[in-house]
């Protein structure tokens, strides 16, 4: 089977084209660096099936990060039958830099001028035929997003792959032409493949090439000794780059016709950027947008209409009795949308699902009414209770994910990385580190893998360590369930504020720990941050739906496998003693689970959910440990055990929240301890899968320290919240402790020099 490689600059549409060619649903994001590894698919419309390989984006073939090494090695070592170079037509000159390098390799090459629809929309024009003539390789106009020109592209790529192509360089007239020719001849003598490409790279004294051909370095050094450029001296890499850009500018600017009226004017994206990336207002705007997202997802008082206009409750309207019973189904259905306040879309959807799940539970309980008590208890309270406590949050998880996807697809998240760079830099990270962190809001696994785009090893390690603090979708049920319980306990407040605050707490913890790491064990300069800001565009409905479908599929699959297995085990372990005797609900404190939980309980005493709780306090310890398998298990543990506690679950409450309230009543846990419980679960060791990924991605010797880092951080953060929340004056003691710690760090740093280490592909393995 023929193999075609898709190569191009970051964010030029390679993965969009890959999806269009292969029918895949690979993750596409409107920011550079989404794809960090190659992936394969099959295109079936050529005379024979063709394997298509989507490569990570690269600006040049001089790689600095692991994913750039992957692209370079694939093109050079795997020898694809054709390289399809995707060029962002809205940014022709910069994209052609890589093209001039690809042309030097002995491989058939086809240029795909992508985003031609955007070029036409801007009123600009590109003469593809003239470009083809100048480049000497086929050029095809396409729009990967709209599926235009794809058949022609593959047809020309297939024809190009039929015959061999010899590399050509645009450096024929450069000052290094002689050197390149001599080295090429020497490499041809050694039967090296793609000798021209290697010769150019060797002339630049490229690190990888120097290692590969040490015998030819002398030839370059001798040439260097007799050569000096007026501008660049003997910096051959700069001389080559300058020669390439000169060539591009002289030859290819003529194929681009800009709309006269637009010359020198600000584009729409530039005008929006003036507001959204404002030096002062940029960050407050981001925080407001983030709050709006949480308000739309979690608020039980949409736009605070209920508080402003003092809207009547269902009870005041006569639709609900004082005992909390609805007068009819219509009233119960109305409660999905309103009760003294209009609910936000996220809460409405959750209420709707809870109504359906309650009906299923009631139906199952009815069917099993004649069966033995333990069977009914196991299936309805145990399995369904645990499962539904988690599934109930699915609408809010999906909605939050949808909002983040919209922000990302529009190009706004890339701007956030830009505006945060100024702050992150002060803390020892570049803005580039923000993108994996944002991915961490969805799932820590891809986020940790995405840190490969960070060139500095220390920055990468620090970023991997703090990614779990950016609450992933699996932690959302914990946040929402406990937030609901806190509001119930306080009799006031709004879930959106609590959830938003906990997300901010996660970010603040990340910032503080990064400062600590970067000023102690991981000192070093912050690498420069250069990121191309993508143009703003409306999110693609299809793309958003694919994202949501993926999320839904993963969540439901996880719920009916790992989470259901955990609920079954939790129920059995909580209803059997060490002698394998069955225990009734009231005897649960004698169970295997209770004895293990009680053993661990004292460890959590400084965090507020340890030995100070009443007889069922062990449940919090068990839930926290169970959360290490999958974070959803925290709430599913509550769900499985809540029905057995003898406290009637509150009517009208969402799945999960009612169980958390029941847990609160049974154990007498305080509000500061509940917040500490959330904080602990947010910042402690993440799920098994994330731990395995961290182990693989972290440099050698860092993993054990990372586990310890997560444990210590979560313990300190949660205990601080509990202690300060319970005894406010202790805040002064913590402040004093911090002041001492800062002083010690300053003194420590004075004695230690800063070391540097760059994360290269070979070292990342």
Partner 1 sequence: MQPIEIIVIAAAVLFVALVTIGAIVRRKKGKSSCGCDCSSCGGCSACKERKEKKS
- Contacts to partner 1 by CB under 8 A: 24-27, 34-40, 56, 371-372, 374-375, 378-379, 443, 445-446, 449-450, 452, 546, 550, 553-554, 557-558, 561-562, 564-565, 568-569, 572, 630, 687-689, 692-693, 696
Taking the complex as a whole, the smallest distance from the CB of residue 689 to partner 1 amounts, in Å, to: 3
Least distance between partner 1 and beta carbon 237 (Å): 29
The token duo for 625 is: 């440990």
Task: Write down the least CB distance from residue 622 to partner 1, Å.
Answer: 18
State which residue, 131 or 593, has the beta carbon closest to partner 1.
Answer: 593
Q: Could you tell me the two tokens for 710?
A: 């997560």
Strands 50-54 and 39-43: antiparallel
Close Cβ partners of 249 (under 8 Å, ≥ 6 residues apart): 93
CB 675 within 8 A of CB 725: yes
Shortest reach from residue 113's CB to partner 1, in Å:
24
- Closest distance to partner 1 from the beta carbon of 31 (Å): 12
Lateral strand order in the sheet of 50-54:
39-43, 50-54, 2-8, 82-88, 109-114, 139-141
Rounded (to 5) percent helix, strand, coil in the chain: 60, 5, 30
CB of 38 to partner 1, least distance (A): 6
Q: Which of 510, 482, 472, 513 is nearest to 687 (CA)?
A: 472
Task: Please state the closest distance from residue 557 (CB atom) to partner 1, in A.
Answer: 6
> C-alpha angle with apex 627: 623 to 630, nearest 5 degrees?
145
Of residues 369 and 755, the one with the C-beta less far from partner 1: 369
Indicate if the alpha-carbon torsion angle 75, 76, 82, 83 is positive or negative: positive
Nearer to partner 1, 275 or 373 (CB): 373
Q: How far is CA 51 from CA 139, 248, 632, 669, 743, in A?
A: 21, 31, 38, 58, 59
Toward partner 1, which CB reaches closer, 54 or 132?
54
By beta-carbon proximity to partner 1, the closer residue of 28 and 623 is 28
The least distance separating partner 1 from the CB of residue 222, rounded to whole angstroms, comes to 41
Which one, 34 or 96, has the nearer CB to partner 1? 34
Bridge partners of 456, per DSSP, are: 758
- Minimal distance in Å, beta carbon 369 to partner 1? 12
Is residue 662 within 8 Å of 645, Cβ to Cβ? yes
Residue 261: count other Cβ atoms within 10 Å of its Cβ. 8
- Minimum CB–partner distance for residue 669 and partner 1 (Å): 30
Shortest approach of partner 1 to residue 554 CB, angstroms? 4
Q: 199 vs 449, which CB is nearer to partner 1?
A: 449
* Minimum distance, C-beta of residue 605 to partner 1, in the bound complex (Å): 32
Using the minimum distance from each CB to partner 1, give the nearer residue, 217 or 406. 406
Answer whether 670's CB lies under 8 Å from 610's CB: no
The residues pairing with 9 across neighbouring beta strands, listed in sequence order, are none
- Measured from the CB atom, the residue of 254 and 561 that comes closer to partner 1 is 561
Q: What is the largest CA-CA distance in the chain?
A: 97
- Contact of 441 with 594, CB cutoff 8 Å: no
End-to-end alpha-carbon separation of the chain, Å? 29
- Cβ contacts of 202 within 8 Å, gap of 6 or more: 183, 187, 209, 210, 213, 216, 217, 220
Residue (27 or 734) nearer to partner 1, CB: 27
Which of 304, 688 has the CB closer to partner 1? 688
Which CB sits closer to partner 1, 44 or 554?
554
With CA atoms as reference, report the closest residue to 130 among 300, 254, 238.
254
CB atoms inside a 10 Å sphere around CB 322: 6
CB of 631 to partner 1, least distance (A): 11
Question: How far is it, in rounded angstroms, from Cα 460 to Cα 571?
Answer: 41
Q: Tokens for 250, please give them.
A: 């002289």
**Least separation, in Å, of the C-beta of 571 and partner 1?**
9
Q: How far is the CB of 690 from partner 1 (least distance, A)?
A: 8
What lies within 8 Å, CB to CB, of 355 at 6+ separation is: 332, 333, 336
Residue among 585, 597, 596 at smallest CA distance from 643: 585
User: How, if at all, do strands 82-88 and 256-257 pair?
Assistant: unpaired
Nearest to 277 by CA among 418, 423, 434, 422: 418
- CB-nearer residue toward partner 1: 244 or 465: 465
Where does residue 652 fall: left (phi above 0), alpha (psi -120 to 50 degrees), or beta otherwise? left
d(CA 435, CA 449): 11
Q: Please, what is the minimum distance in Å from the beta carbon of residue 564 to partner 1?
A: 7
Nearer to partner 1, 696 or 739 (CB): 696
**Which residues have C-beta within 8 Å of that of residue 629, sequence separation ≥ 6?**
562, 566, 687, 688
For partner 1, the closer CB: 463 or 693: 693
Q: Which is nearer to partner 1, 337 or 572 (CB)?
A: 572
List the structure tokens of 604.
């959590």
């Amino acid at each position: 089977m023929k193999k075609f490689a898709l190569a191009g600059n970051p964010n030029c549409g390679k993965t969009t084209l890959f999806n269009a060619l292969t029918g895949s649903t690979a993750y596409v994001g409107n920011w550079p660096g989404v794809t960090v590894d190659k992936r394969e698919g099959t295109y079936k419309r050529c005379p024979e099936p063709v394997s298509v390989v989507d490569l990570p984006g690269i600006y040049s073939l001089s790689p600095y990060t692991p994913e750039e090494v992957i692209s370079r090695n694939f093109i050079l070592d795997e020898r694809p039958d054709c390289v399809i170079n995707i060029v962002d037509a809205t940014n022709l000159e910069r994209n052609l830099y890589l093209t001039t390098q690809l042309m030097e390799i002995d491989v058939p090459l086809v240029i795909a001028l992508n985003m031609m629809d955007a070029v036409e929309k801007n009123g600009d024009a590109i003469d593809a035929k003239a470009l083809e003539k100048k480049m000497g390789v086929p050029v095809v106009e396409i729009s990967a997003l709209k599926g235009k020109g794809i058949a022609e592209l593959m047809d020309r790529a297939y024809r190009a792959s039929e015959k061999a192509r010899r590399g050509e360089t645009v450096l024929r007239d450069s000052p290094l032409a002689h050197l390149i020719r001599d080295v090429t001849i020497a490499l041809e003598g050694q039967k090296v493949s793609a000798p021209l490409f290697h010769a150019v790279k060797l002339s630049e004294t490229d690190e990888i090439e120097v290692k590969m051909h040490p015998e030819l370095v002398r030839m370059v050094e001798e040439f260097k000794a007799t050569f000096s450029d007026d501008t660049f001296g003997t910096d051959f890499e700069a001389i080559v780059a300058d020669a390439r850009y000169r060539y591009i500018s002289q030859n290819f600017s003529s194929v681009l016709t800009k709309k006269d009226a637009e010359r020198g004017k600000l584009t729409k994206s530039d005008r929006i950027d003036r507001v959204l990336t404002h030096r002062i207002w940029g960050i407050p705007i981001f925080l407001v947008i983030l709050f709006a997202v949480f308000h739309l997802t979690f608020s039980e008082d949409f736009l605070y209409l209920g508080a402003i206009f003092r809207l009547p409750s269902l009870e005041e309207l006569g639709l609900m009795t004082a005992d909390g019973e609805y007068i009819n189904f219509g009233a119960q259905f109305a409660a999905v949308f309103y009760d003294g306040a209009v609910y936000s879309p996220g809460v409405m959807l959750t209420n709707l699902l809870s109504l359906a799940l309650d009906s299923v539970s009631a139906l199952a309980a009815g069917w099993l009414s004649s069966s033995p008590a333990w069977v009914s208890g196991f299936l309805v309270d145990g399995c369904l209770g645990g499962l539904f406590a988690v599934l109930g949050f699915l609408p809010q998880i999906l909605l939050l994910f949808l909002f983040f996807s919209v922000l990302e697809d529009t190009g706004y998240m890339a701007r956030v990385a830009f505006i945060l760079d100024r702050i992150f830099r002060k803390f020892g990270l570049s803005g580039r580190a923000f993108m994996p962190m944002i991915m961490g809001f969805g799932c820590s696994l891809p986020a940790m893998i995405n840190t490969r785009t960070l060139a500095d090893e220390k920055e990468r390690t620090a970023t991997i360590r703090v990614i779990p603090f950016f609450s992933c979708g699996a932690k959302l049920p914990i946040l929402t369930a406990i937030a609901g319980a806190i509001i119930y306990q306080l009799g006031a407040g709004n879930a959106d504020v609590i959830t938003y605050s906990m997300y901010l707490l996660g970010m603040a913890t990340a910032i503080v720990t990064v400062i600590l790491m970067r000023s102690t064990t991981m000192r070093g300069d912050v690498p420069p941050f250069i990121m191309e800001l993508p143009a703003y565009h409306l999110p693609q409905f299809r793309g958003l739906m694919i994202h949501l479908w993926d999320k839904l599929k993963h969540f439901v699959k996880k719920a009916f496998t790992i989470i259901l297995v955990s609920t079954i085990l939790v129920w059995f372990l909580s209803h059997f003693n060490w002698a394998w005797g069955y225990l009734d609900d009231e005897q649960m404190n004698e169970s295997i689970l209770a004895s293990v939980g009680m053993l661990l309980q004292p460890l959590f005493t400084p965090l507020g959910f340890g030995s100070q709780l009443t007889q069922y306090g062990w449940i919090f310890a068990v839930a926290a440990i169970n959360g290490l398998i999958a974070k959803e298990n925290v709430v599913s543990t509550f769900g499985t055990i809540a029905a057995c506690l003898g406290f009637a679950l509150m009517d009208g409450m969402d799945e999960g929240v009612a169980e958390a309230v029941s847990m609160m009543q049974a154990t007498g846990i305080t509000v500061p301890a509940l917040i500490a419980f959330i904080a602990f679960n947010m910042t402690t060791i993440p799920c098994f899968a994330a731990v395995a990924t961290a182990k693989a991605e972290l440099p050698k010797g860092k993993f054990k320290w990372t586990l310890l880092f997560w444990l210590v951080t979560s313990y300190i953060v949660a205990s601080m919240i509990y202690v300060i929340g319970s005894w406010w004056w202790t805040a002064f003691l913590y402040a004093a402790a911090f002041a001492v710690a800062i002083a010690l760090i300053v003194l420590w740093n004075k004695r230690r020099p800063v070391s540097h280490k760059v994360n290269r592909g070979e070292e990342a393995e």
